[in-house]
Copies of this chain bind each other. A is one copy, B any other.
Amino acid sequence: MSVALGIDFGTESARAVLVDCAHGSELGTSVEPYAHGVIDARLPAPDDDVELAPDWALQDPRDYVRSFQVAVRRVLADTGVVPDDVVGIGIDFTSCTMLPTLADGTPLCEVDDLRREPHAWVKLWKHHAAQPEADRINAVAVERGEPWLPRYGGRISSEWFFAKALQILDEAPEVYARSDRLIEACDWIVWQLTGVESRNACTAGYKAMWSKREGFPATDYFAALDPRFAHVVDEKMSRTLLSPGTRAGVLSERAAAWTGLHAGTPVAVANVDFHGSVPATTVTAPGTLVMIMGTSNGHLLLGEELVHVEGMCGVVEDGIVPGYFGYEAGQSALGDIYGWFARTIGATHEALAADAAKLRPGESGLLALDWWNGNRSVLVDADLRGLLVGMTLATRAPDIYRALIEATAFGTRVIVDAFERAGLPVDGIVACGGLPDRNPLVMQVFADVAGREIAVAGSRQAPALGAAMFGAVAAGAAAGGHDSIGDASRSMAHLSGTSYAPRGEHREAYDILYGEYVRLHDLFGRGGDDVMRRLKRLQIEAAAAPAPA
C-alpha cells in the first residue's frame, strides 16, 4: 500500500493524517496541541514578565516541531503503517504566520539575547498590531498607483506579510537587522523537515503581493515605505517560488530520526490550509465554488483568466491548482456569529436550530447585516459592525438565530454575484470545514438563498487531506503517488453524498429579502451612513475615558 502523510498546522494544534494514495481512505489521525498555544498576554516562562500589547498574537516555533514529532509518531503507531509505505509528505499551515530567522533557519527567539524581544517570535496570522504599517502600505500603493493593488481588492490587510515585516523594522530595528531571513512558518517547517530553504508560491501570492508574471512589488515601492526596507526581498526572502505539489526536497536524516520515517521521503512545498483544501473537496477546475465553513467562511474559485473581482482577498496564478488562477474571497465571521448568539443567550445550537428550522423565509420579521467581525468581501472593511432590524415584543431567540444564518447566506450570495459579474461562473458549490456536519439548517438556508445545490465534501479534515494529496504529488506516480494534483484529487478526494438542494418555494421570498439586504449593505457599507464607523470610534474613546462615577 502507498500512503501519503499530511500535516495540518492549525491555530492551536498540529493534525497528522495518513491517507491511502489509491482511494483516499483516511487510515488514521492524530492531533497534538502546541505547548504554548497562542501567546497573546505575556511571553512564556521564564520570560513571562514581558507583557504583550493588545492585538498581539505570537507563537513558539519549537511547538510546531514538537507537535509534528508527537502527532506523526502516534499516528504511525496507531495505524501500524510502516515507513516503507509512506511515499510522500505534505504540510499546510495558517497564513500569514511568519518569523525572523538566522541564515541557518534558527528562529531569532531562540537566540539568547533576543528571546525577551517579542518581535523575535512567530507572528501568528491573527496578530493585529501592524495596522499602522498596513495603512502605510495601502496609502503609498494608492499614491503610486501600484499595479498589484487591484489583485487584492484594493486593500492590503494588517495580517499580511509585509505589514508584519514592516512592524518589526518600525518597532525593533535591531531585530530586523539581525534577521537573515523573514519567512512564512509553513516554509520554515518544510525547511526543518528537508534541511533546505524553499518558498511556496501560494503564500507569496496571497499574502506577499507576488505574482508569477510580475514578481514582487518594485524596490522603489519598498523604499518609499522606508529606505531601510528597499531590499527586503533580496536581503531576507527569495524570488524563487514553487507551485503547490512541487517537491521541496526530501526528509533529512535529522528529521527522519524524529519519527522513524525514512530519510529521503519526498516532501512537498508548503501550502495554506484554505487553499490546500480545494482539491481535497474534488475541485480542480473552474465553475465550482469551494466554501470552507467554520468560525469564518472562505470562498475559493478557479478561473481560466485574470479578472478583477470586487473585494476579493487575492488572485494568484497557480496559487491553488497549477494552470489556473486561484481566487479567494471570504466572510470574516460565520460560525463565530451563531456561536456569539448562542453563548449570549445561553442556549444550544441544537435547540435554536430546531425552532428556527420551522420558520418560513420572512417569518421572523428580521433582517441582519452579518458584520460582527467586519466585512472581508466584498467591502474589505474591518470597521463595519453587525445590524439587526425588525424586532417586536413577540420576537423570539430562534427568530434572531434564523436571521443571523440568513444574513451570512446573503453575504455569501453577494460574493457569488461578484464572481459572476466579473465573468467567473459559479455553477455549483462544495462545502467543507467543521460547520456542514454540525448545522444542516445553515446548509439548507445557504442553498435556498444561493439558489444552487451545495454538496458536502467527504473528508472532515480537508486541509490535512489536501496536504497529504500534495505529498502524494511530490512523490509522483512512479513512487506510488500521483503525477498531478488532478490525478490525486480524482483518486483520493470524495464527496460525502450529502447535498442540499435549493427549495423553489423559498426562492421568491429570499429574492425579496436579499434585495433588502443588498440595500442596507450598500447604505451602511459603502458610505451612505457611516454610523458603524462612528460607533466604533466612540467606543474606543469611551473605553479610554475615566471610569464612571
Contacts and interface: CB of A to CB of B under 8 A. Distances in A.
Contact of A548 (B359, B532, B538): B359
B393 A363 contact: no
B516 A364 contact: no
A542 B509 contact: yes
B340 A393 contact: yes
A548 B358 contact: yes
Contact of A365 (B359, B361, B391, B538): B538
A519 B503 contact: no
A341 to B, nearest CB: 9
Interface in A445-470: none
Number of copies of this chain that the complex holds: 2
A513 B538 contact: yes
Contacts of A359: 542, 548
Contact of A333 (B363, B393, B542): B393
Nearest to A333: B393
Contacts of A397: 344-345
A385 B392 CA distance: 6
A391 B548 CA distance: 22
Q: Chain A's interface: helix, strand, loop or mixed, by majority?
A: mixed
A333 to B, nearest CB: 6
A328 B344 CA distance: 38
A478 interface: no
Interface stretch (A56-64, A165-173, A246-254, A366-374): A366-374
Given A519-B529, A519-B531, A535-B516, A385 B365 contact: yes
Contacts of A360: 542-543, 545, 547-548
Contacts of A346: 345-346
A396 interface: yes
Q: Which of A359, A524, A545 counts the most B-chain CB atoms under 10 A from its CB?
A: A545
A363 B539 contact: yes
Contacts of A387: 387-391
A120 to B, nearest CB: 29
Given A363-B539, A367-B531, A389 B393 contact: no
Given A387-B391, A512-B538, 10 more contacts: A333-B393, A336-B393, A344-B395, A362-B541, A385-B389, A385-B390, A385-B391, A503-B549, A505-B548, A513-B538
